[in-house]
Structure formats: C-alpha cells, structure tokens
Structure 1
C-alpha cells in the first residue's frame, strides 16, 4: 500500500489490494474518466426563430447554473462570444436528462434527446439533425421552451491518451472493459471504438449503472468500477473495487470509492493490479516460509534435536525474514 501511494494510488484497505488480482470486469464512466471531461462547444443549430443571440443567451444562462461538463462548455462559449447571461429562477437538475429554469416568467429546458422525448417535443426532422451530430462523436443538447425546440448545441470531448494505453494494458492482464455513459448510443459507439473497450452501454441513468454492475457480479468474478461524479457513486459503492478519479472528481465519488487515483490517470489501474499480484505472491511466500520453519522446528523437537537458538529463529527469526521479504513490495 505504501508503494502504491508513491505512485499516486491511495488504497483504503488491504482487502481491496488483495482483490485487485481477481478483477475480471472493469466498468468505466466516460466523461472525466476516459475523456478529459473538459468538452468544448463545436456546433450550434438554430431551430426556432428567436435568433442566434437570444437562443444562445437563454441556453447559456441555464447552463451556467449547472456543474456538468457539457453545461459548462455551453456557458463558456457564450462568455467567449460576449453574450450577456440572464437571471434564472427555480433552477433544477433532472437526473439523466438535463437542467431547467425559469427566465422571464417562462420555463426553459436544456437537455439531451431523452428530455426532448419526455417533453413530447421530438420530431423525425429534429432527430435527423441530432443523429447527424451524434455520429460524429458529439454530445447534443437542446434548448426547449413552450413552443418546442429552439436550438441544438453540440459539444465534443477529447480522449485522454492514457485511456487508450490503459485499456490496452488491461486487456493484456485479462481484464474485460465496459464503458458506461449517459450519452446517446451514437456518441457512445464513437468513443468506444476510439478507446478500444470490449463493450459499452449508453443512455444510462445512475440506477442503470448500478444495475449493470449487479449483472456483471452475478455473472461471476470480481468487478471494478471507475468514475468521478455523483452519478457514479451508487455503482462505485456496489462494485467489488471502486476506483475514483480523485484529481477532478467529486467528494462523493472519492469518499465512496475504495481506491483513489490522484492524477486521474487510468494507467494506474493496471499498475494497481500488478501490485496486487506481487503482493499476493509475497503473502504466499511468507506464509509457506513461516509455517515451513515452524513445522521443521516441531519435527526436530520430537526427534530431540531442537535447541533454544532454533526456537528463537523459528519465532523471532522467521518473523524478521517475513517482514524483510514483505518490504520488497516497496520496490514494485
């Protein structure tokens, strides 16, 4: 555990270190885990007739009240374009869909495709525009008012180079990977293909992520979960080993997880698994050695060949050898 700490891996108990070598599945959140979690707005499509400025001002005003990376990207783009933000009342977050608020006495929604469908404001033409952007690996959110969808905002995130390398190393260790995200299927597919995970699931709510972890555990083997947000907390708690991205993660995720990665580098997970295997090997060596020495001493005792010095070595001496052997893990 001390060796892991030197590499920025904080393990909350020896049990989790021992279980690391047994991982068969690792589920990973997308935003902030596989990707940088700092998306930028790339496209704006006006649907209504309010004008670009008004539509963007409404969306950015609501987005500025949210701490979700996609919302922040829309708000930052508006500030960059020197668009004045408006006052928002009754702001609320809708899990798995988006956010809403009242501006000038009218309620506005800013959310994903699922939210548009829930509000019954979807159409075939609108879906074609949304899907065209999603197939490019972009996340699309819509500004919805009483008269329907007024604008689409496309946001793109970038993969961490370390994520691709980490997935490759996990495969070599025999660990299967699954990406879990609240994003639509098109965006999820594009990211999954780029990073090289074994499978993926999109359009997930927090409870859906929890259900996926439960299903993987029922299939057998140890299951790990990597996440950084509040929405990941239930899945992190349910997994056999929960990994939190501590660098940019929420306090809830860090407190819930069993292992914290201090600089959000997924390559630390293969290192954690390797350290777990090394630790297990040392444990087996120590147990076999300690029991072997004592068994030999007992045999010599019954033969009448044991001495006091032999007894000291079988007890204190064996303990010192075991400790010295265990310290080798510091160099792993």
Structure 2
C-alpha cells in the first residue's frame, strides 16, 4: 500500500506494450536492473497486507478461544494495530483529497465504512474490509506496474555500450555518447543501440521489437537499420545517422506512452459517471441510516448505520474506474505485440465500429518496389542525355518511382546543373537544366497541365507510365511496374466478411488501378486522382453517414488522413513523419494488419462492456440486499474488490488472446 497514492494518480497514465522476443535474448545490464527493482518492489508491496492478515488471523483465533480475557481495550488496540498497515495509507489519501476539495472519493468511502465498523465494535469486519480492499489495490498496482515495466524493458533493449570502429581499432563507448557519422561494429546476436545505415555488404536482422515479426529481415549496403534490431549472423558495420534520443525506437516508445492521453468515449463517460455516482450513493447511504427513524416504530440506529456502511462499501466505483482503462491498455498492448501502434484508445474504439476502409494503392496494397520495364524515347532525341536528365531530376524526389528510375539508370551525371526543382503533388516534377532547358517528368496530366500534346494512347498501358517533356515537347516515356502484396487479396476478403466496405483511391492511371482492383476484389476504385480529388471522395463516402478509415503512406495524403475518422499509416521502417501524422501505424506494411486491428478493437470493446455490465449487475444486486439488511460487509467486499479483480483478470485476457 506504500504506493497507493501514486497508483491512483498514475494508473490511467500508463499504457500496455509488449516486448517481443525478450525472453529469448540475453538481457542487458539495464534490463537486469529494471527487473531486479520490479521484483523487489513487488515483494515489498505485500508486506503491509501480510502483517494485517497475520494480526487479523490471530485476533480471530483469540475471539473464538480466549474471549474471557481478549476483550475491551486490549481487543480494540489489537485490531487497531491490524488495521493501521492497510488503513493508514487509505485514510492519508482520503485526507489529502479532502484538502484538495475532492470529497467523494473511494478512499473516503472505505475510511467511513471501516471506521464505522469499529464504532459498532465489529472490529474484525472493519479490518477485513480494509484488508481486502488493500489486496485489490495491490493487484491493480501490479497490473499498472507491469504495463510500465514492459515499456521500460522495451526502452532498455538497447545496449548500454557499443563498439565503435576508429581506424583499425575498436573502442567501447556509451551508447548515448555516440555521435552521428560514427561507425558501430555489431557482432552476431547483438542489439543495435542507434539508427543508422548498413555499410557492410549484407546482414540479417531480427526486427521483432519494432514490427512484431520474428522473420529475419535481410539488409544490404546503404539500407536503413534501426535501434532494437538484432544482428542474426555475420559481423556488420553500421554508420550512425540519428542521435540516441531521436531513434525510431525512442519515438515509438514516446508514442505508446502518450497513447492514453486520448481517451475512448466509454472511458470519458465512466469518469464523468463516477463523479456523479459517488456523491449520489453517499446521500443514499445517509438516507438509509436516517429516514427509517421517521418510518420504523422501533428504530435501532446501529442496525441502520451498519446497513448504510455496507451500502457505502458496495458503492465504491473502483471496479469501473480501473478495469475500463486496463481493458483499453490491453487492446493497445495486444496491437503493439502484433506490430501495430495505436495513438489512443479513442482510435481503437473507432476502428471497432469502422464501416468503410479506404486505401491508397502504392505501398499499401502493392509492394511499392517499382522496376523499370520499358524506356521509349522518340526518334530525334538523344536517349542517354534524356535519361541523364530524368535521373538527375528524380534524384530530388523520395517517391518509390524515383527510386526505381535511379536504380535502373545508376550514377547521376554530376556535370548537370539543376535549378528551380519543384515537385507538384499528384502530377510529377519540373526543373530547369542545362542552360535553362525546362524538363517535365511525371504523369500525362502534367503534360496536359502545361498544354503539351502527345501521341500516345494512355489507356492501353497496364503499368505506371512516366512521361517526359523537354522545352514544351513530348520526348518519350518510361513504364514501371509494381507487384501486388501477397496478403492484399485475403485482406480484402476478411474485411468483406466483417461487413466492412473497401475503396481504392490512387493517383495512378485508371487502367493500372482497375487491374489491381480486379485482382484483389475491392468494392469501389478510382484512379488518376489528385490529393484534392481524394478529399472529395472521402467527403462523398461520409455523406452516406459511414465511418471511414484511410490507409496510406500518411505523408502525401495528409488532407485525407485528417478528414477520415481514423488515419492508418503503412509506416514500416519508414519516415518519422509517417508516425507523427497518423492515428495508427502498421509497422511491417502488411495489409493483413488492417482487419487485425479491427478485430482487436472489437474484442477490446467487448471486454470493456463485459466489465461494465458485470460491475453494475453485481453492485445493483448487492446494493439492494444491503439496503434490505440481507448483505453483510463480506458480501460488500465481494461486490467491490471481488468485482474489480474479476474485471482486471478479464482485461488481462487481451494480452494472451491471439488475433
């Protein structure tokens, strides 16, 4: 009970997270220290309750066997000593709350009820009620501490020290002291402490801490590797690109820690309800004690006072106040265990009742890994020079198509001078190059926007086509193809089984979008859309009074994400902006996580409502019995602490349930 005050203040400021693969990896010194502190604090938290239980047990034996001398002041002092270890922390918090103007708290209710039992000389019941209440608080505290521990352990997955390559020497250095540009040598089985790029030829990593997937991820030279990844086989050198505090893992932890600030409507309702509910039951308890004086011929104050005390114990709202947030924490934790980051329980609630999932194409339903298929440059133009121009201008873009072009064409011609480079959302890029030559690289709408004619039937293409124009002349095109993700079709089928409509929106050619849509089976599809066109489509869906989740890259589609009820980003191991702009982040880019997060949302909502119904049903029954004098303090304890424990155990199911 030592940390009872802190627990009540912070129990709703903690979220659940899961540490994947932790049990299979050697813990760092930081992890050992955290676990040691956690275990020691767990032992200590039981000491007051154990002391109270021993004194209560001995006192009960004395009552039964030695009543001839165990009475009066001696008996009272004995039970006061049994009461103090568990009762004093509660009375202290009740007094602190009173001084702050917060009168109707469960601490005050328990204090009045147990001290009232002492007034009626029902000492064992007074101690027992507070003891069982303390045990319930302990279990609640342990549940919250466990959630905090999971986050702390995830943070401490990063090693305290790293090996830095300095010339031909290897120097050990504190991870937080490593600067950007330094090179870390990572041995087989070691965890990476900071984000960087691989400068070795190839290496395989376990990415479960970030994506929830234990399947090895093979990286090649120049590719990004992140803090928390574990080197599986060969020795690898990584060049640091991010400070320790700014790593992807740190941002994920910050995201998870802030998730609880956004409450679900159910949580907000229960908190408001508790503020009204508690003073009402205090007034009812007072009425139970006093009104019979005017209605009953033989009014016995102690009898009705006892009934009022029972009523107070039963009315404590702790089962609702703690079990509901824990239910949502469990849902957020279950999602994170499967590589899904949810920024608040309100988004989890929204996904549970989502009616329409609208998806972007590239990177969401397709791999986003483009490959050049055909280069068609019109006669009369120098092919190599044109491709040099295209390669140079596309090097200024981060779009996957630009990456495909660069991979195909290779090294950029450093002699070329680019000026006035602009990326036009939904169209492509334009710049001036080599003595003020204007070059346009993008879709055919970009050419139409600049009133440039072309002699190509765009409807005949089933690949993405990049048009090229120089000095207001169409000079050719490049075709690029993308692969549909393996689980895209099954994802759409699952969503339809869940009665969720699906819509595909893309800025790509309509023929390409139609091809993808026919392969995976979405309900509706639209192509050749600009960002503002996507916004209009979302507005159209919302006019049908349907809730909408938009799934995309979370950057270029910012207006659509903002307009939708829930913005879901295929974050993968991509940019930090993706994490910041969206409500939900799918870390491994797998579409199958979309129906999974809906299942998690629905399961969470079911558990929360089970807890609410269980608490209300049992409390109403026992309240009626207590008011009628048919329930004792023992039944009251079950209605309060027992229901809270059952609700907590029910919430914990989210952590072991498979989705």
SS at match of 1:34: coil
| Structure 1 residues 221-263: Cα deviation after superposition (integer angstroms, max 9, x where no partner) | 2110001142112211221111111115443332121111110
* 1:93 equivalent among 423, 443, 452: 423
Match of 2:399 in 1: 68
- Give, in angstroms, the shift of residue 45 of structure 1: 1.0
SS at match of 1:61: helix
* 1:2 equivalent among 327, 330, 333: 333
Match of 2:345 in 1: 14
Query: What is the CA–CA distance in structure 2 between the aligned matches of 1:119 and 1:127, rounded to whole Å?
Result: 16
SS at match of 1:42: strand
CA contact (8 A) 2:505 2:525 kept: yes
Q: TM-score, normalised by structure 2?
A: 0.48
2:453 aligned with 1:122: yes
2:653 aligned with 1:328: yes
Q: Say if 1:83 and 1:43 are closer, same or farther in 2 by CA, change over 3 A.
A: farther
- Give, in angstroms, the shift of residue 164 of structure 1: 1.6
CA contact (8 A) 1:48 1:149 kept: no
Gaps of at least 5 residues in structure 1 are none
Alignment of 1:170-209 (within 5 A): 170-209=495-534
- Give, in angstroms, the shift of residue 300 of structure 1: 0.6
Match of 2:551 in 1: 226
Q: TM-score, normalised by structure 1?
A: 0.93
* 1:270 equivalent among 575, 591, 595: 595
Q: Say if 1:251 and 1:262 are closer, same or farther in 2 by CA, change over 3 A.
A: same
Match of 2:4 in 1: none
Match of 1:237 in 2: 562
Query: What is the CA–CA distance in structure 2 between the aligned matches of 1:34 and 1:326, rounded to whole Å?
Result: 33
| Structure 1 residues 31-79: Cα deviation after superposition (integer angstroms, max 9, x where no partner) | 1111111111101111251222122111111112211111221122111
- Give, in angstroms, the shift of residue 131 of structure 1: 2.9
Gaps of at least 5 residues in structure 2 are 1-331
How many residue pairs end up in the alignment?
324
Query: What is the CA–CA distance in structure 2 between the aligned matches of 1:31 and 1:141, rounded to whole Å?
Result: 15
CA contact (8 A) 2:554 2:561 kept: no
Q: Say if 1:48 and 1:87 are closer, same or farther in 2 by CA, change over 3 A.
A: farther
CA contact (8 A) 2:444 2:467 kept: yes
- Which structure has the greater CA radius of gyration? 2
Query: What is the CA–CA distance in structure 1 between the aligned matches of 2:399 and 2:600, rounded to whole Å?
Result: 34
Query: What is the CA–CA distance in structure 2 between the aligned matches of 1:248 and 1:188, rounded to whole Å?
Result: 26
- Give, in angstroms, the shift of residue 280 of structure 1: 1.6
2:459 aligned with 1:131: yes
2:373 aligned with 1:42: yes
Match of 1:156 in 2: 481
Match of 2:434 in 1: 104
Query: What is the CA–CA distance in structure 2 between the aligned matches of 1:248 and 1:89, rounded to whole Å?
Result: 32
SS at match of 1:65: coil
2:619 aligned with 1:289: no
CA contact (8 A) 2:392 2:412 kept: no
Greater relative contact order structure (CA < 8 Å, 6+ sep) = 1
- Give, in angstroms, the shift of residue 110 of structure 1: 0.5
Query: What is the CA–CA distance in structure 2 between the aligned matches of 1:284 and 1:83, rounded to whole Å?
Result: 60
Q: Name which of structure 1's ranges 27-36 and 241-250 shifts more when overlaid on structure 2.
A: 241-250
Query: What is the CA–CA distance in structure 1 between the aligned matches of 2:526 and 2:444, rounded to whole Å?
Result: 16
